[in-house]
Structure 1
Amino acid sequence: MAERIDRVTLEDIDFRDFIRAGDFVVWGQACAEPVPLTERLLAQRAGLGGITCFLGIPVADTVRPDHADHIRFISYCGSGNNRALAAAGVLEVYPGHYSTLPAFVSRANVVLVHCAPPDEQGRYSLALADDYLSAAIDSARIVIAEVNARAPATPGSRYLTEHDIDIAVHTSRPVAQSLTPPATPDLTAIGGHVAHLIPDGATLQFGIGSVPEAVLGALGSHRDLGIHSGILTDAAVELIDKGVVTNTRKTTDRGVSVAAVLIGSQRLFDHAHRNPAVSLRPIGYTHDPERLAAQHRLVAVNSAIEVDLSGQVNAEVAGGRYVGAVGGGAEFLRGAARSAGGIPIIALPATAGARSRIVARLSGPVSTARSDAGVIVTEFGHADLRGLTLPERREAMLAITHPDHREALRGSEWQC
């Protein structure tokens, strides 16, 4: 292990001092990426002897296909800039459930983390993500931290101390933000249909993307909602500020919004800073099946690329390219299905351009089995597939298909 250093400048960092040929390197995803460190690592890649880097959801435009000349890239998702890597054939996809990521990254040799400055007790908050980072940190030979004076000190189950950090680089920079574009009319309609299904007092899980954000935007008249989710977003903060989300009826973590990662704007970061009503947790907590099943009225809202007439979900591949992820959708759907009063929901627009997203046969892999299907929602309504036979599911799905595609689908051969 390298000599412990309390504080260095970015220019002092020579990754050849810490990284060995063949090392597996992990860093925080989305807004939690320690961008100055990842940029410097990529700039020095030719001298590192060949390494493997694990990527999550990208927010900053840090990694490019040309960086693969000396680095092997692996990710669990093809979103954002990862799509360019996948299109160039330089991204290897790990197609596992989100709950398996801690075990997958526990092979990490080097971890780059993005932390807030230490509190009065000398503890460094992981600031923007715990998710799979705790598992990587626990196994790593070297932990290199960007200590950003402008990162939120978000309460959670994991803090680092000076004994956990080998090298600390102090910065003061704006955190990379992820902004969701305004909802389109079809997304607004989807949000309204889903909102109608959600009862007051429900605990919400929601995935990433424009569809779940539209759903959250439609919940302004609800009461006493709670949050136990993989992510926390600006739309969720809007509901908290309106008094819609109170977390008072949750079975566990009453009064607290729980998430594994923060993805949003400065408004979200300001909300989370030293806020005891927010808690960052690792995947082993947020995706724990027993904890999910124990939540009263857990409503899971996730999206998909396409759904077939039997309820099978493809959330990974579109047009032959890997653009999504297996993620935690199936795990949350199962948790909601086991929760008393819970509702497992998949919501998606009925079309993508001229193509129907309700299909007779999936054009990609089965990310979620039809045995886990619950309620499917498009802008044309909802199909509750629970308790239906395959012919009954087919008719229910046809009813929420775009009218321009219904007859063609009705007459097509479909996967039974």
Structure 2
Amino acid sequence: MTSRAANDWSEARIEALRRRYPGKFAGEEVIFGHVHPGDRIFVGTACGEPQYLMQALMRYVEAHPKAFLDAEVIHVWTLGVAPYADERFKDNFRLNSFFIGNSTRQAVGRGAADYTPIFLSQVPHLLRSGREPVDVAMIQVSPPDDHGYVSLGISVDIVKAAVEAASLVVAQVNPRMPRVHGDTFLHVEEIDYLVFHEEPLLEFEARAPDDVVQRIGRHVARLVEDGDTIQVGYGSIPNAVLTALKDKKHLGVHSELLTDGIVELIRCGAIDNSRKTLDRGKTVASFCMGKPSTYEFLHDNPSIEFRTVDYTNDPRIISAQERMTAINSALEVDLTGQTTAESVGHTFWSGIGGHADFMRGAVLSRGGKTIVALPSTAENGTISRIAPFLKEGAGATLIRGDVQYVITEYGIAYLHGKNIRERAMSLIAIAHPKFRPELVEAARQHRLIYRDQAFIPGKHGEYPEHLETRRTTRTGLSVLLRPVKISDEPLLKDFFYSLSQRSMQRRFMSERWDMPHERLQDFVVIDYTKEMVILAVVGDVDHEQVVGMGQYAINEASHTAELAFAVLDEFQNKGIGWELINFLTYLAKREGLLGFTAEVLVENRPMLHLLEKMGFDMERRNDGGVWELRMSFGDRS
């Protein structure tokens, strides 16, 4: 609720509320006297946690330590101090959480609290069916309107199901809680006791995007298209990458979590929900974690609807949203494509949450995408998040078939439909460079890749992402010019075998048409400081096609480079060769080279003509049907 609306709640209004609902108000001693030993107590989620109510409960327990014992506290996620997990109250409470946060991780780790792994979409049914009984629900709501309805505000998720299942419902009425549209409303008659207490809502502020996150965000932005419906998961990485989507148009939101980043995209117009298949025109979420300005934005905003998680997280609902793009993070990804977002080895770290619900729903969505975005390292760069295999004891939150894209600051690995060898090479290519040698060696040992897979460690083999550029040829064809990657072997194999025999002969000046793995490695695994291979690529990340390839190898003695290139037959005469040579010339000059050398068959008039058009100072010598060319850059700009 806006701060001005909160200030409108004078003592007189509160007293009027007491007179209107006299049976709903009682002293804390009376209210907590209804809690019995062994009861299961549900506590509202995350930023919607009723802080004052929980503090009052702790005071009651301290004053009456034997009033109730062995109570079970049930919740999704606590951002507060979680006093019920304190060692002092071990005889009174035991926590059972569907998700693990910072305030409860240690308690779970030492066995003093429990974690229940479950898809969050299934929790409401678990509560309503009585399989997980709820005796007491302690929640936070907005003040009632003239019709007696309160709003669950920023936390609907499983809260509404808990209220419906509970025998006793105690609500902290907080004027700071916004009234949010959607499935958020309860009538006062559904609540047993109201405890009026105004206090700031808990806040969650994601860390400011650093260089790593910004690079990840730029890669994510390449995959998110105008008109997509997006979901963003927990954590600072997914929320921070939203800043890279500000130039998108007509995005929609169907998400479990609404964050500051989503609200910023609504404010700037990138999100308008105008192309959604379901709930068109509405931003749909289940709970919110953010700052006060975000909560104020939600208040009485008809474009925002909060629904229970058995709707927002239902894979069937998610899959019905066309072009559903799920963006989530992970703790670790292995070279086969398995990911864990819930544990670090044997240590439970977070939980399943809605991660798997959304990723599996998006896989089934027409035009949908699943994106796992994570930094390449953890623990200040000492651990690679891309590993040969998940650590022993880790839970596979997503199996190999769930993951389509993995993104680190070093690029995008597209895994869908790829075999294990291709997956491993793609993931090694986006791992942190200092960990790539050991990943290659481990992959060799476990037969994930070729036993003779070549690799160049260190800076010499580090992919120069900054050289990627998009060009439009004279015929209007848009091509991506980029250096070759170690994961490009399948693309280059298709390229070479798609060339006609004449084009192959012109490129290699031999009658050999085969291109086995051993030979392909010479083009794919290169020392970028001594040679360069530039590919002309068309198509999206998930369906790249190499239509042209240019390369040079540096002769350090003469400060020149030997030049060669080839273009697919059906893409010749479209300006691709011109763009390749222009770009290679630019790169060669940056390296301080003086010119190119090349060998061209006399009958290869197209290549000779193209080189002549470049305006090089050219010397040529005919040696048995082959032109030997020396081309000096001179003063050519």
| Separation of aligned partners in 1, 2:421 and 2:23 | 65
Return the offset for 1:126: 0.7
SS at match of 1:137: helix
Deviations 1:219-269 (A, max 9, x none): 111111111000111111111110111011111111111111011110111
Q: Give the corresponding residue for 1:401.
A: 431
Return the offset for 1:320: 3.9
TM-score w.r.t. length of structure 2: 0.63
| Separation of aligned partners in 2, 1:206 and 1:379 | 18
* 1:368 alignment partner AA: L
SS at match of 2:81: coil
* 1:193 alignment partner AA: H
Greater relative contact order, per chain length (Cα 8 Å cut-off, separation 6+): 1
* 2:126 alignment partner AA: F
- Asked if the contact 1:26/1:105 (under 8 Å) is kept, the reply is no
Q: Give the corresponding residue for 2:106.
A: 84
- Asked if the contact 2:31/2:193 (under 8 Å) is kept, the reply is no
Taking a change above 3 Å as real, the CA distance of residues 266 and 319 of structure 1, as seen in their structure-2 partners, is same
| Separation of aligned partners in 1, 2:32 and 2:194 | 16
Q: Give the corresponding residue for 1:233.
A: 259
| Separation of aligned partners in 2, 1:348 and 1:414 | 25
- Asked if the contact 1:5/1:166 (under 8 Å) is kept, the reply is no
Return the offset for 1:379: 0.6
- Are 2:417 and 1:387 equivalent residues in the alignment? yes
- Asked if the contact 1:258/1:281 (under 8 Å) is kept, the reply is yes
| Separation of aligned partners in 2, 1:290 and 1:175 | 33
- Asked if the contact 2:32/2:57 (under 8 Å) is kept, the reply is no
Q: Give the corresponding residue for 1:342.
A: 368
- Asked if the contact 1:148/1:171 (under 8 Å) is kept, the reply is yes
Pairing of 1:62-211 with structure 2 (within 5 A): 62-63=82-83, 64-66=85-87, 67-106=89-128, 107-211=133-237
* 1:369 alignment partner AA: I
- Are 2:320 and 1:294 equivalent residues in the alignment? yes
* 1:273 alignment partner AA: H
Deviations 1:338-381 (A, max 9, x none): 11211111111110031000011112121111121111111111
**Larger of the two Rg values belongs to structure:** 2
SS at match of 1:367: coil
Return the offset for 1:151: 0.8
| Separation of aligned partners in 1, 2:195 and 2:405 | 47
* 1:373 alignment partner AA: V
SS at match of 1:188: helix
Taking a change above 3 Å as real, the CA distance of residues 42 and 397 of structure 1, as seen in their structure-2 partners, is same
TM-score w.r.t. length of structure 1: 0.95
Q: Give the corresponding residue for 1:369.
A: 399
| Separation of aligned partners in 2, 1:6 and 1:403 | 66
| Separation of aligned partners in 2, 1:184 and 1:327 | 26
Return the offset for 1:14: 4.2
- Asked if the contact 1:112/1:144 (under 8 Å) is kept, the reply is yes
- Are 2:58 and 1:58 equivalent residues in the alignment? no
Deviations 1:38-78 (A, max 9, x none): 11223333321220001322222233432333211111222
Q: Give the corresponding residue for 1:8.
A: 25
Task: Name which of 33, 40, 50 aligns with 1:17.
Answer: 33
- Gaps of at least 5 residues in structure 1 are none
| Separation of aligned partners in 1, 2:30 and 2:390 | 47
| Separation of aligned partners in 2, 1:336 and 1:5 | 49
| Separation of aligned partners in 1, 2:30 and 2:384 | 51
Pairing of 1:239-278 with structure 2 (within 5 A): 239-278=265-304
- Asked if the contact 2:176/2:198 (under 8 Å) is kept, the reply is yes
SS at match of 1:218: helix
Alignment coverage as a number of residue pairs: 412
Return the offset for 1:87: 3.4
| Separation of aligned partners in 2, 1:415 and 1:342 | 32
SS at match of 2:145: coil
| Separation of aligned partners in 1, 2:45 and 2:348 | 18
Taking a change above 3 Å as real, the CA distance of residues 158 and 78 of structure 1, as seen in their structure-2 partners, is closer
Taking a change above 3 Å as real, the CA distance of residues 415 and 177 of structure 1, as seen in their structure-2 partners, is farther
| Separation of aligned partners in 2, 1:16 and 1:150 | 24
Q: Give the corresponding residue for 1:40.
A: 56
Taking a change above 3 Å as real, the CA distance of residues 251 and 109 of structure 1, as seen in their structure-2 partners, is same
* 2:259 alignment partner AA: T
Q: Give the corresponding residue for 1:218.
A: 244
Taking a change above 3 Å as real, the CA distance of residues 336 and 415 of structure 1, as seen in their structure-2 partners, is farther
Return the offset for 1:204: 0.6
Q: Give the corresponding residue for 2:617.
A: none
Return the offset for 1:309: 0.6
- Asked if the contact 1:15/1:48 (under 8 Å) is kept, the reply is no
Taking a change above 3 Å as real, the CA distance of residues 127 and 402 of structure 1, as seen in their structure-2 partners, is same
